[in-house]
Amino acid sequence: MNATPRDSSALGGAFAKEFASAPSSKARQFFGTDGIRGAVGTPPITPDFVLRLGHAVGRVLKTSQPRPTVLIGKDTRISGYMLESALESGLNSAGVDVVLLGPLPTPGVAYLTRAQRASLGVVISASHNPYGDNGIKFFSASGTKLPDAWELQVEAALAQTPQWAASDQIGKARRLADAAGRYIEFCKSTFSADLSLAGIKIVVDAAHGAAYQIAPKVFHELGADVVAIGCAPDGLNINQGVGATHPQALVDAVQREKAHFGLALDGDADRLQMVDADGRLYNGDELLYLLAADRMACDEHVPGVVGTLMTNLAVERALARRGVKLVRAAVGDRYVLEALQQHQWLLGGEGSGHLLALDKHTTGDGLISALQVLQACVRSGKSLGALLADVQLYPQVLINKRTAPGFDWRSHAPLQAAQAQAVAALGDSGRLLIRASGTEPVLRVMVEAADAAQARHWAQALADTLPAA
């Protein structure tokens, strides 16, 4: 089911309260909000299931194309080899040709799927999760996430008896030897040709993930003095103590190296966090505002941007002061993309660092997002801190409270009473958000306020009204 974007008027202003569940995926057995993901060796992330999945995907593709071609990329997890071969075999068995890209960022697969005129792109990755997890996600021929209806077609095909291709119709497999080089050139093409990173020292943290070879080259080839960390994968260390989910390693390296900037990606390089010369960390909410403000400084019209239910209220208010509307989508980059397409806007993102600039790429891309931020700094001659002086993030306190399955939190009287008290106490200085997890019996309680102690107090007060699971 598609998410319904939340307009900023429903969440903004003096106080905002939102009762929102995660978009339902109950009609789908295997697909979640970003493909299929789980612990390796536990269904569905097993080689037998992935072989069946590849076959089912191939059968769906064959209903509209006589000889489809599918690109497969992966991150650096040790399980990627096993799942890649299973997926390749399943696709071949349905009569689908396969092009293996090797380790490549998720947005790189999206780009090459479009550039190579392929039928489908597949990424084997669990993004920011530890190495023991893995997953599979898909991109359309145009390099975009596929709709729920397509995923339901695949699940229907999974339930059917396999129909193996005849011996003379079995698919072939080959490698695209220069996949990384093609993607590097694409990333560089999004940086203004009349600007350079010469004289700028940048720490690049690739989380021991898919961009470990690519990320340092992109910035080096644009002139930067690059210090690489998190660029030595061994199959087991992806996202381990480094990357966008562990930014302290980047902060420490920037200060140690006396660098001008630092950037951290996650395991599949679609998330971005950045650090300035002072060691100050900037998240996706702040960087989204910067991208919008930079375009306005170049006299581009920015009618609006898309955030999520979790986007910091300070960003919404800073955008409003510039006459830019913020629309809030459900949490998840696919729902941000849906809202952008609905409004025909270009910029959107999440605090986690998924940022979309649809005139640069069809999907979120940590490298391209970093280049857009650095371009703004070089063009203006200002630091990140100076460009974001108008944004002082409100403290956000999030408490995840496990509840009994089926718990009706919407009609729980103690929670309702506490909400009324929080509304009165916060007034114009904050907002609260309560939403149910879409994957587990957990209620997420978030309070955002100008005063950190007040945010902590009311988040805890609301969580304390909920019965233990």
Residue 469 in domain:
no
Here the contacts of 191-196 (C-beta below 8 Å, separation 24 or greater) are 191/222, 191/371, 191/374, 191/375, 192/375, 192/379, 195/375, 195/378, 195/379, 196/222, 196/223, 196/378
End-to-end Cα separation, the chain, in angstroms: 28
Given 332, 363, 393, the domain boundary residue is 393
* Cβ contact 131:78 at 8 Å: yes
Say if residue 291's pLDDT is above 70.
yes
Q: And the tokens for 398?
A: 């999030």
Residues 105 and 125 grouped into a single domain: yes
Q: 369: buried, middle or exposed (CB in 10 Å: 19+, 13-18, 0-12)? A: buried
Residues 99 and 148 grouped into a single domain: yes
pLDDT at position 34: 86
Q: What is the band of 436 on the pLDDT scale with cuts at 50, 70, 90? A: confident
Residue 152 in domain:
yes
Residue 214 in domain:
yes
pLDDT at position 440: 78
pLDDT at position 439: 66
The number of angstroms, rounded, from the C-alpha of 134 to the middle of its chain's C-alpha atoms is 15
Residues 160 and 209 grouped into a single domain: no
Which candidate, 75, 11, 97, 83, places its Cα nearest to that of 40? 83
Say if residue 32's pLDDT is above 90.
no
Residue type, 431: R
Residues 18 and 86 grouped into a single domain: no
pLDDT at position 441: 85
Residues 166 and 188 grouped into a single domain: no
Residues 382 and 452 grouped into a single domain: no
Residue 140's CB: how many other CB atoms inside 10 A? 18
CATH code of the domain covering residue 415: 3.30.310.50
Which amino acids are annotated catalytic? Answer: 127
Phi-psi region of 149 (alpha: psi -120 to 50; beta: other; left: phi over 0): alpha
Q: b/e per residue, 319-344, with b = 16+ CB within 10 A?
A: beeeebbbbbbbbbbbbbbbbbeebe
Residues 140 and 242 grouped into a single domain: no
Residues 158 and 60 grouped into a single domain: yes
Residues 127 and 184 grouped into a single domain: no
The number of angstroms, rounded, from the C-alpha of 363 to the middle of its chain's C-alpha atoms is 9
pLDDT at position 46: 98
Residue 186 in domain:
yes
Residue 253 in domain:
yes
CATH code of the domain covering residue 384: 3.40.120.10
pLDDT (tens digit per residue) in 308-353: 999 999 999 999 999 999 999 998 888 999 999 999 999 999 999 9
Residue 31 in domain:
no
Given 177, 201, 218, the domain boundary residue is 177
Residues 86 and 169 grouped into a single domain: yes
Give the separation between CA 343 and CA 207, rounded to whole angstroms: 34
Phi, psi for residue 375 in degrees, rounded to 5: -60, -40
Residues 218 and 265 grouped into a single domain: yes
pLDDT at position 278: 96
pLDDT (tens digit per residue) in 232-265: 999 999 999 999 999 999 999 999 999 999 999 9
pLDDT at position 5: 34
Mean pLDDT of 40-59: 98
pLDDT, averaged across the chain? 93
pLDDT at position 93: 98
pLDDT at position 468: 84
Give the separation between CA 92 and CA 88, rounded to whole angstroms: 6
The number of angstroms, rounded, from the C-alpha of 340 to the middle of its chain's C-alpha atoms is 15
Give the separation between CA 399 and CA 459, rounded to whole angstroms: 7
Residue 30 in domain:
no
Say if residue 26's pLDDT is above 90.
no
pLDDT at position 198: 98
Say if residue 2's pLDDT is above 50.
no
Residue 78 in domain:
yes
The parent domain of residue 132 ranges over 36-177
pTM value is 0.90
**Number of compact structural domains in the chain:** 4
Residues 271 and 156 grouped into a single domain: no
* Cβ contact 257:229 at 8 Å: no
pLDDT at position 100: 98
Say if residue 45's pLDDT is above 80.
yes
Give the separation between CA 109 and CA 124, rounded to whole angstroms: 10
pLDDT (tens digit per residue) in 372-431: 999 999 999 999 999 999 999 999 999 999 999 889 999 999 999 999 999 999 998 899
Q: What is the band of 42 on the pLDDT scale with cuts at 50, 70, 90? A: very high
Q: What is the band of 286 on the pLDDT scale with cuts at 50, 70, 90? A: very high
The secondary structure of residue 260, as a DSSP letter, is S
Share of the chain above pLDDT 70, in %: 94
Calculate the alpha carbon distances from 446 to 74, 218, 462 in Å.
Answer: 34, 38, 9
Mean pLDDT of 187-208: 98
Mean pLDDT of 29-48: 94
Given 277, 300, 326, the domain boundary residue is 277
